[in-house]
């Protein structure tokens, strides 16, 4: 058994934290022979609840879980960590202006970026979940100059999983039979869920392009895309709470694939710092089709982009440019 890795989860007393921690501690993400020490950070008023989460983790009686460190101090939380899952963020409160929300999140992610820079291992892998996830990730990376920007990513895997599930439901196959879907852009309603390059293996064993399996372009453009884009809002409307179980599952998928690699015949979606691929402004944190190997990721190159797709990819990039500029303004 190798040395335990230290995994930080921020906002650990919240609802995603509650759905996520068991899977991390049980070896579902980093492997069944990888011991783990959990660092759980939350704000001071949540420390009581966080203590209850620690009791429950102990009661799960998990052999891989070597320690649980609960804290409201960044100096403790970020010390020597191998992985950071940044879930905690400022939620929008009634009457709060977008600018105030952005300013509050910029403060949080600036401070956490600086803490990563100062206390974490230089090899730390960072996954930003708290919204606005892409821009928070950008702020965090900018404030951790000693950590390579490739070590930062934001979660668009939930959108990716939603897209796979919608196609699987439409065609009548299980979700593992749908491959190579892509979420382009922002984790927001401007994202572009793209199945133009996706493949589906039908129940008779035949593999087809998703467009040929679906045979309904109108459904793709006018049902599939808006359903995936607005799924988060649909869950809030139905549950009166935002997605937590599916978000936690997506976090596990994202981390597992980054750690162990993606299958040869598939790719995943991750928000990463753009290198200019597909004409997306360098430096923006944008969701791309990604392959992982040896704990590093690369953007899948050479996918054909037609005018319709280009228009959607540009719209979501423009929103990210605006968010980035507003975030920098908010701190002035």
Q: Which residues form the catalytic set? A: 187
CA atoms within 13 A on the CB side of 328: 8
In angstroms, give the least distance from the CB of 84 to ligand NAX: 12
Among 5, 114, 244, 305, binds ligand NAX (CB under 6 A): 244
**Is residue 114 within the footprint of ligand NAX (CB under 6 A)?**
no
Of 6, 11, 185, 268, the one binding ligand NAX (CB under 6 A) is: 11
For ligand NAX, the closer CB: 180 or 243 = 243
Residues numbered 31 to 50 that lie near ligand NAX (CB under 6 A) are 41-43, 46
How many CB atoms sit inside 10 A of residue 285's CB?
A: 30
- Could you say which DSSP state residue 223 is in? I
Q: Which is nearer to ligand NAX, 112 or 151 (CB)?
A: 112
How many Å apart are CA 273 and CA 257, to the nearest integer?
A: 18
Binders of ligand NAX among residues 267 to 326 (CB under 6 A) are none
Residues 192/228, Cβ–Cβ less than 8 Å: no
- Is 13 known to sit in a ligand binding site? yes
| Stretch touching ligand NAX by CB under 6 A, among 85-93, 145-153, 289-297, 302-310 | 85-93
The piece of 88-96, 172-180, 252-260, 314-322 that touches ligand NAX (CB under 6 A) is 88-96
Upstream peptide bond of 132 is cis (omega within 30 degrees of 0): yes
- C-beta neighbour count of 306 within 10 angstroms: 8
Give whichever of 65 and 183 is closer to ligand NAX, judged by the CB atom.
183
**231 labelled binding-site residue:** no
Cβ-proximal residue to ligand NAX, closest one:
14
CA distances in angstroms from 89 to 16, 49, 100, 226, listed in the order given: 12, 17, 13, 26
CA-to-CA dists, residue 104 to 134, 135, 155, 198, angstroms: 15, 13, 20, 38
Angle between helix 47-59 and 15-25 (nearest 10): 30
Among 57, 8, 69, 66, smallest CA distance to 34 is for 66
Residues 6+ apart with CB under 8 A from 267: 180, 182, 289, 290, 291, 300
Q: Determine, following the binding rule CB under 6 A, whether residue 236 of this chain makes contact with ligand NAX.
A: no
SS3 track for 84-97: EEECCCCCCCCCCC
Nearer to ligand NAX, 247 or 285 (CB): 247
27 binds ligand NAX (CB under 6 A): no
The partner residues of 34 in beta bridges, in order of sequence, read 2
Q: How many residues sit close enough to ligand NAX to count as binding (CB under 6 A)?
A: 28
> Which residue in the set 91, 148, 261, 283 belongs to the binding site for ligand NAX (CB under 6 A)?
91
* Binder of ligand NAX out of 106, 116, 247, 273 (CB under 6 A): 247
Interacting residue ranges for ligand NAX, rule: CB under 6 A: 10-11, 13-17, 41-43, 46, 87-91, 108, 129-131, 133, 155, 158, 187, 242-244, 247
Residues annotated within a binding site: 11-17, 42, 92, 98, 105, 129-131, 162
């Amino acid at each position: 058994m190798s040395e335990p890795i230290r995994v930080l989860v921020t906002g650990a007393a919240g609802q995603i934290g509650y759905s996520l921690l068991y899977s991390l501690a049980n070896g579902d993400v980093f492997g069944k022979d990888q011991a783990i020490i959990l660092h759980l950070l939350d704000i001071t008023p949540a420390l009581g609840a966080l203590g209850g989460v620690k009791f429950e983790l102990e009661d799960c009686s998990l052999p891989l879980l070597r320690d649980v460190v609960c804290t409201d101090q960044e100096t403790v939380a970020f010390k020597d960590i191998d992985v950071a899952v940044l879930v905690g963020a400022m939620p929008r409160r009634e009457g709060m202006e977008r600018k105030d929300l952005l300013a509050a999140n910029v403060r949080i992610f600036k401070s956490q970026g600086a803490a990563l820079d100062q206390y974490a291992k230089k090899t730390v892998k960072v996954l930003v979940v708290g919204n606005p996830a892409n821009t928070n990730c950008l702020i965090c990376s900018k404030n951790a100059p000693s950590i390579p920007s490739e070590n930062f990513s934001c979660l668009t895997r939930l959108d990716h999983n939603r897209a796979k599930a919608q196609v699987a439901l439409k065609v009548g196959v299980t979700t593992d039979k749908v491959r190579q879907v892509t979420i382009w852009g922002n984790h927001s309603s401007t994202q572009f869920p793209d199945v133009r390059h996706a493949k589906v293996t039908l129940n008779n064993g035949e593999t087809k392009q998703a467009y040929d399996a679906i045979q309904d372009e109108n459904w793709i453009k006018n049902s599939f895309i808006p359903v995936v884009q607005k799924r988060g809002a649909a869950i809030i409307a139905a549950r009166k709470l935002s997605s937590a179980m599916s978000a936690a599952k997506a976090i596990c998928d994202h981390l597992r694939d980054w750690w162990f690699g993606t299958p040869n015949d598939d790719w995943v979606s991750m928000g990463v710092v753009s290198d200019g691929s597909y004409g997306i402004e360098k430096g923006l944190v944008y969701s791309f089709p990604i392959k992982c190997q040896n704990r590093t990721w690369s953007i899948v190159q050479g996918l054909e982009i037609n005018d319709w797709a280009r228009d959607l990819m540009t719209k979501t990039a423009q929103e990210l440019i605006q968010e980035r500029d507003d975030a920098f303004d908010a701190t002035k």
